[in-house]
Structure 1
Amino acid sequence: MERRLTTILVADVAGYSRLMSADEAATFAALNGHRSELIDLRIAENQGRIVKMTGDGLLVEFTSVVNAVFCAAEIQRGMRERNENVPPDRRIEFRIGINLGDVIVQNGDIFGNGVNVAARLEGVAPPGGISVSASVREHVGSRLDLAFEDLGEHVLKNIERPIRIYNIVLNPGSTTRPRPPAAVSAKDMNEFSIAVLPFTNMSGDPEQEYFSDGITEDIITDLSKISGLHVVARNTVFTYKGKSVKVKQVAQELGIRFVLEGSVRKAGQRIRITGQLIDAKNGGHMWADRYDRSLTDIFAIQDEITRSIVDQLKVKLLPEESAAVARAPTENVEAYTYYLRGRQFSHEWTKAYLLLARRMFKKAVELDPHYARAYAGIANCDSALHGWHSEEVSLDDILENSARALALDPELAEAHAARGLALHSNDRHLEAITEFERALELEPDLYEANYFYARLLYTQGEMEACAQYFVKAAEIRPDDYVSPILLTSVYRRLGLVTETENWAQRGIERAERALLLHPENSSPAHRGALALAHLGERERARDWAARALAIAPDDIYAYYNIACAYSLLGDAEQALDLLEHVVPRNTREQMLWFHNDSDLDPLRNHPRFKQMCSMRAKELGLETEMDC
């Protein structure tokens, strides 16, 4: 194994998916022009070696740290000049990260932690900016006429130790940029870090899990609004759900100091919530309380818990943060209960569950006509019923409900995600991307924003970006079996065999758990059949397919996934028999999905497949966008 110490530069285009969606040909041509006329020349002048290019990004190796930083600065200055007369929404801007580290060399490529750190630094750099590690800053010294902004130590995703980050200020007189949001001060993380473990459902009814989970999520959301706190994300803490764990162990595993745990008991119109805040450093209980109240006091209880934690940790609460924490999503607790139940049902994505979820959301807005989250939920259900299940739903109503959610709460990430899905359903893809990116800016861990954005990117053929958001969705919800199984198709399209198999196995494990919890739901069965087909497990795939059809014999979505499974297994006629029921009802979104679905590749040259797809594409006016 060859190893060497080298300087690694990673560059990537900010907002590349949005630019490509707006004008694919122009963006591609502009990017190639920037590379040939500026970037490649500067790299060559500074003795850099382009290791590989990844769509909108590149990985470059330099033997000299000074050359790498000088090259990066020249590229960013050059891009500023080239962007001067370009409208802001059409500018191509690079993020650049540079690290000095040890790498493994194999067949001309480089791997290892040195590369990973450079990639993470690129991720936290602002558009048009350069972020470097402390080792790079130290080696450059005063050799270059550049100013370095010390951002302190930060914890970067999947990097074991905190990294000291410096931003390069190309114009020293300019205003210092704020800390990048993806990085967290190591000192602050130690002193003001907290994990909210899933509150235990003490109601004696498993059906009440949605309520205790909803309260946990809302407390996490409220605490996350406080700038002085580092709060562990929902997807991480929910991996501990249902497990007997020790607080000290949790704190060590998550790298945090404080843990909040509690329980919820709901009986009729009464509720009992207990909570205790523990300092994992010494095991001491800093605060504990029990609330025996009417159900109508649920929001007041959440507010009291949040403020008690703030008081105990002596965190400064800014006026706008105090107002945000105090703001309840609705004044009607019954509407809140219906909303939580609808949200739980909607994540199954089957027609039956979406219709049930829609009834829950409709009831919520009947009880509170100003409930933004519930309007977003209605819009999501209708978009999914139209776009994925070929149901007759008014597109105008979808747009109206998503617009109403935004009007009621312009800063609600769920509303922006719902608007994005509604616009996608109406083939307004560029506007949809803008809404999804705004939702992710407001709440990066919002499941719907990541999942819906991934689906849009899939229909546009943006597989690498699509994979990123499906992976995030799968991380956010450990019970999500849909994203892992969709990832098998994405990675198959990208030619990544190992990733395809790994995600197929993960999806099957999650689908098995979902079938145990909801044996009446066909979705885990037909999606599981597809994942099993990816692994070549013919008999199990057929068994799961038969089970799905027995549960829901008229489910068009089940027909489609089982047809994909048969396609992968080489059973072309069986696959086509099922698709004969599906294709005539396809929406534009579904036909674009067909166009990019590698699971159907074995059928592409079959005369029946060509005929049915070309006819439907012509009916929908898609002849120029796809070639079935």
Structure 2
Amino acid sequence: MVQEKPIRFVRRLSAILAADVVKYSRLMNHDEETTHAKLTALLTDAVHPAIAEHGGRIVKNTGDGFLAEFPSAVEAVRAALQFQTRIHELTIDGAEDRRIAFRVGINVGDVIVEPHDIFGDGVNIAARLESIAEPGGICISSSAYDPVRGKIEAQFVDLGEQDLKNIVQPVRTYAVVRDQPGAATQAESSRPNLPPPPRLSIVVLPFANLSGDPEQDCFVDGVTESLTTDLSRIVGLFVIARNTAFTFKGRAVDRKQVGHDLKVRYILEGSVQRGGNRFRVNVQLVDAETGAYLWAERFDKLIAELFDMQDEIVSRLANTLGAQLIEVEARRAERSPRPNSMDLYFQGRALWNKGWWTPEFLAQAHVFFRRALELDPVNIEAMVGILCVEGVRGTSYVTDDWATHVSLGEAAAAKVLSLAPNHAFARFGLGVLLAATGRAAQGIAELERAISLDRNLAWAHAHIGKAKFWLGRAAETEAHVNEAFRLSPRDIYAFDWLMHIGFAKLQLTADAEAVSWFHRSIEANRSYPIAHFGLAAAYALHGSLNEARAAAKAGLALDPSFTIRRFRSTPVNDNPAWLAGAKRIVKGLHTAEVPEG
């Protein structure tokens, strides 16, 4: 038997250039014929001549981008600088939100060569570098930087080691910045044309071990590393890789200089100190542009709980920090004379985060998200904002037309998940909508999937508890909500979670306990109407009629349109335990003199 020879692939070492048009879908959505014509002209007038001049070849076009191969990293970078400069010149007079701009990534690696394509990790790394480049910018790997350094008229900003999607090892990355005349003699601080830091960008500096006990270094470094990993799960947050961050360990640093060198807007720093049988973790969020402290948090724990509490500390910080960054960016956006799409998103999300879930405030938040999408139709986070608003409108008894808002929320979720299938918060939002409208089992499945994507998503744990209440399993609700509080004990949505337990207690006929939980919910947020109506029902069922009427009056002051008919109209499910509990709640609302409608 003749043994078949193994297939031999043609391989070679190449400089790979990957390029892609920024927000191409939005531009095509606005005017596809004009966009296509402009892109064709730029490829013809700027890109193709530069690539040919520097000995490269276009391997393939990808609709809104291309892949090119060069025999030299130097020529690849020179070509990219040439066509990026030319594109800037050709588009400078156009409206800013209609300009075509490329991101470029360059890597040197061994590739498999076929007649009309090239393959391998070298290609994948170039594509991932392109995705993190600034519009009009160029990012290169260290394998391209080493042979290029000192050979071209450009400067380089060290971005540190980047964790690139689907690439096993971190890649040291550099941003290429063209020198202006005489720039070689200028100081670093006067370097022109450096792109600004990404809006949500942060480095977690190694926490300091102030205890004097070297055995605690493992714990201290573990908190730093875990927090870096968990923060990277926050959608839209750019986090400097831990290998770069740890180069600052044990060093006194100038915060502004760190922000400048790493191109980040925020710095998270902290320390761990032991005192007796307890230890204290202090954390501060710093504005890297000004050096000002924006927020601080402290944890005091028993030494015996040291390693058991590491994950809990990280989860609490990740949850709190996400909300804090939204609030800070919203304040920045308010000062902008010409807000862009993300400015409007931050303002809408900050307003929604306040929990003023009355019809008026929900409408205001919706306006911000809608305006953000008008400027950028593929702003995924603004779509999630629409999902949030429609989700509250459809599930929180603030309107009689809940079905329309559920439908709009599901449409928003479907659009987000078509673009970003692993968006944890979109999965969470879809799960809430399903659970609240007669599909609790499906809702729980989506909520569990959201947790698998983001282990710190405390809201998903709380809403699994709420879904269990809708399934007639109210005895399980409190445990799920307690897990949410373990991950985020001072969460901005605590009022909603506490209310979940209040309604679960009513289903269990524990009316006195329900009164206590509803009071805690209202203390956390006095502007949430349904919590007042829950309290009214609990007081009435407990026999405290004056208190019940007062609570109902407070709820109607916040939402005069609320009626018992609206509460009855949502098709939660036909579980006997749920139906019996809902019947009790309706009886309490009647007794509290809430309008029938």
TM-score, normalised to structure 1's length?
0.41
- Return the TM-score normalized by structure 2: 0.43
Indicate the structure (1 or 2) with the bigger Cα radius of gyration.
Answer: 2
